[in-house]
Amino acid sequence: MEFARTGDARLIGRPSLSESEDKAKMLIATNYAKKMAADMRLIDPVKYGDHPDNKVSVCARNVAEWYHKSQAHKGTQIIFSDIGTPKPGAFNIYDALKDKLVKDFNIPPHEITFIHNWTEKKKPELFRKMNRGEIRLLIGSTDKAGTGLNVQQRVVAMHHLDIPWKPSELEQRNGRDSRQGNVIAKQFYSNKVMNYIYAVEQSLDNYKFNLLKNKQLFISQMKNNELNVRSIDEGAMDEKSGMNFSEYIAILSGDTSLLEKSKLEKKVAVLESLKTAHFRDISRSRFQLESVISDKTNAERTLSLLTTDESNYKAVLSLDKDGAKNNSIALKGFSSADPEQIGRHIISLYKNWKPLEGQDRQQIGSLYGMELFIVQHKNYTGFDKSGDAEYEKYNSFFAQSPASGIRYSYNDGTPNTDNPKLAARHFLSAIDRVSSIKEQYQKKVDEAEAAIPMLEKIIGRPFEKEAELRELKSELSILEKEIAAKILANKLLETGSTKDTTENITEEKQAVIVPFNPKGNTIVVAHAPLKTRGMKL
């Protein structure tokens, strides 16, 4: 931290930085911190030695435990590390782990292999040997072992010695065993595979998990199109999802208050999302209520006009001796009462009628107090060779009520041109629709009357969890003050200040001073069973 602040290379055992190196000192600091979190011997194998609580040692103990536990079934394990890969003549994590497994835990060296020793042509042989249990421990990087390895048949445990930079890389690693075809896990280990992730307290591991958390949150929301989600996973460790990144961060910090803060933030986010959805529903319902009221008013107005038309129509309607409606149509310039002749005349008008200049419609007769019209329509089709606009023209019929102005049509105004007798009754069929149209508008009014009180109830409904949200926000605020006080106290300790820290701490007097842990012990931050595709967890 001091090197990153000052650029003094002596603090990390390096020669003075050049001008170009000084500009990249944060990259150098990150690289050193990454190595330190993995194994101090990556910094200087002479100055720093092995330690029983470093990652290699802790991982070796877990690997050996599962090696012997699964001996009867020849269970296999995969250990991932993107740092400290094999380098001839130099310290590296791969050889250090293998040496410890062989010397301290008596695991035959021929049962341990590095992915770097297998070319693409030789990989099928590696697959066969691991799936037969001849090779039981594979050590590799995400790049070389994260994809394309069909070695899942006997995998009983996975180990992550370092933390990748992208969520997808962790998913790629886990995909080596959480897949169909893991016969040993299914038959002997309740269809579960143990997944170990190793991290050093208060190291770069904490920062990397924080990056993964933020990246995964964004990626998930983008994939699901839920940047404003309605529900958020609580993040508790379970068989479905394992432990989430926020919980890793809290555990790595060594301070449970951060874990509590993470959980409170999630609960607040859930309630805030529900509150947003609640008021969005209210806003939508208010807009819908206004629309329903407007539609109801219009429907009632039209219904009143339709009722008048229906009443007028039925008052003059006449029936023949068989109860059929008489077609007492009167067409201008046509005197025949023969239905077939009437039909032929209507068909002729439909096919041949042309409007006078400046007009597009003409009244052609009357029926039961309704005025009968023919109208010509024009559909634009393009331009002719001379550049003039061309139109497709066609005629249609409608009956209009003088009382209401409502138009009634049948079959979109098109008569039956194949049957003159049916064509003769075209206008009667149009006028006769007044009752069915009236029923439709009555239904609209009834539906609106039923919807209005429901929408009014929704609009007046308060957010039921408002009190809970306020309480959680209050708890979170208090907790944030406590954490801020701890951070301030730690800074004072690190600078060696002797000034009374209570002067610099907020009114939360119960704040606990948490000193930096210099040991940097490796802890297994997760050993949850992995979800396997097609397999019960």
Contact 485, 503 (CB under 8 A): no
CA distances from 360 to 357, 378, 402, 516 (A): 8, 10, 19, 91
Q: Which fold has domain 55-200?
A: Rossmann fold (3.40.50)
Chain length of the chain: 537
What is the per-residue pLDDT for 235? 42
What is the per-residue pLDDT for 352? 94
DSSP 502: G
What is the per-residue pLDDT for 491? 65
What is the per-residue pLDDT for 211? 67
For the entire predicted model, the pTM comes to: 0.50
Assigned token pair, 529: 């069973």
What is the per-residue pLDDT for 16? 92
What is the per-residue pLDDT for 454? 94
Identify the segments of the chain with pLDDT beneath 50. Answer: 227-244, 247-248, 251-252, 498-519, 526, 528, 530-537
Q: What angle do CA 59, 61, 66 make, to 5 degrees?
A: 95
What is the per-residue pLDDT for 244? 47
Q: At a CB cut-off of 8 Å and minimum separation 6, what does 192 contact? A: 185, 239, 529, 530, 532, 537
- Give the number of C-alpha atoms closer than 13 A to the C-alpha of residue 304, restricted to the C-beta side: 5
Residue boundaries of the structural domains of the chain: 1-38+208-253, 55-200, 316-441
Q: What digits encode the pLDDT tens for the residues 236-292?
A: 433 333 344 554 455 445 566 766 787 788 889 889 999 999 999 999 999 999 999
Euclidean distance between CA atoms 44 and 32, whole angstroms: 11
DSSP 50: -
What is the per-residue pLDDT for 94? 95
What is the per-residue pLDDT for 149? 79
Q: Indicate the angle between helix axes 256-316 and 434-459, nearest 10 degrees.
A: 150
Assigned token pair, 279: 């008021």
